[in-house]
Amino acid sequence: NGMRKIIHDCDCTFGINGCDVDDGLALLYLLGDPEAEVLGVTTTYGNNTLEKVYENTKKFVKKIGHDELRVYKGGATPGETESEAAHYLAEMAEKYAGELEILVTGSVTNLYGAWKHNPEFFHQVKSIVLMGGTTEPLIFAKREMDELNFSCDPLATYATLTSGTDVAVITGNNCLKVLFTREEYERELSDLSKGVVRLSRNETHYWVDKNWDEYGIPGYYNWDAIAAAYMMHPELFETQIVDMQLSTEKLTKGRMILAEDEAKKNCTLKIPVIRDADEFRRNLYDTWMNVKIETVK
């Protein structure tokens, strides 16, 4: 049917007080893009425990009226390769060899699991877009922040980055280019007759408040939605092709090191940077507005 086959592997905590909303917004973005066919959602830990993420993702999918979307439970801890999500990813890579695209916005454990079940996994998957990693310290409101995705399971991250055929990484550093403020949100998402507007506004307030209380920043960074936007619209980004010299040791802190010379590189990654902040924002809001949500409780 010409649509792109996508699986979203995430740690969705949208709606859990004190936890990030960006995985939910990334999934909404995929559902709003007419080119994307979301085959299923695989859950992982990161923003919270696997149990909480799994239950919350099922609730989220129901709330947005997409009951047809299957949610699969992943490994609960680093290196846990035996899971429903790992089997599902392995099967889908085989079924849609050369077509399957995976958006990864939490820890990378499930992809490692899929590879253990299907040694051809990384060759069969067409492309992988990950949100995570840093290439330099992540300075956020004058404080250095911990990296929270790649560092969860450094071995799984290392395997994915060095084995995938077409791997793009939206780094924490590059996400800091666009801040979403409450004022902008209320201006852009003003039509309260739309379910997606009510959901995006009412249920992200707590996260804006937390960022203001903790860091004094008047909004939040949309980490995972940026990765979803890159997956569907790479033209909105300037994509650098970078040789890396990765190690599991550095990845325990989520750090990716650029290779100093050819001999030392062990993988080549795409590192996208938002080209034009306004154009990017426009695309994000327009795509979210395509999502038809009948009832938001």
**Which tokens in the block code for residue 230?**
């890159």
Question: What is the reported pLDDT for 1?
Answer: 65
C-alpha span between 64 and 71 (Å, rounded): 14
Query: Residue 160: is it exposed, middle or buried by C-beta count within 10 angstroms (0-12/13-18/19+)?
Result: buried
CA angle 19, 25, 27 (to 5 degrees): 115
CB atoms within 10 A of CB 199: 24
Question: What is the reported pLDDT for 202?
Answer: 84
List Cβ<8 Å contacts ≥24 apart for 199-208.
199/28, 199/63, 199/64, 199/293, 199/296, 200/25, 200/28, 200/288, 202/296, 203/14, 203/15, 203/21, 204/14, 204/21, 204/25, 206/17, 206/18, 207/19, 207/20, 207/21, 208/182
C-alpha span between 7 and 114 (Å, rounded): 13
The number of CA neighbours under 13 Å toward the Cβ of 8 is: 31
Residue with tokens 């090191």: 257
Question: What is the reported pLDDT for 215?
Answer: 85
The region, left, alpha or beta by phi > 0 then psi within -120 to 50, assigned to residue 141 is: left
C-alpha span between 59 and 210 (Å, rounded): 23
Question: What is the reported pLDDT for 140?
Answer: 78
Question: What is the reported pLDDT for 139?
Answer: 87
Return per-residue pLDDT of the chain as tens, 297 residues: 679 999 999 999 999 988 999 999 999 999 999 999 999 999 999 999 999 999 999 999 999 999 999 999 999 999 999 999 999 999 999 999 999 999 999 999 999 999 999 999 999 999 999 999 999 998 877 888 889 999 999 999 999 999 999 999 999 999 988 999 989 988 998 998 999 999 988 889 899 999 999 888 888 899 999 999 999 999 999 999 999 999 999 999 999 999 988 889 999 999 999 999 999 999 999 999 999 987 654
Residues in the chain: 297
Question: What is the reported pLDDT for 100?
Answer: 98
Closest to 280 measured CA to CA, from 246, 248, 235, 213: 235
C-alpha span between 51 and 235 (Å, rounded): 37
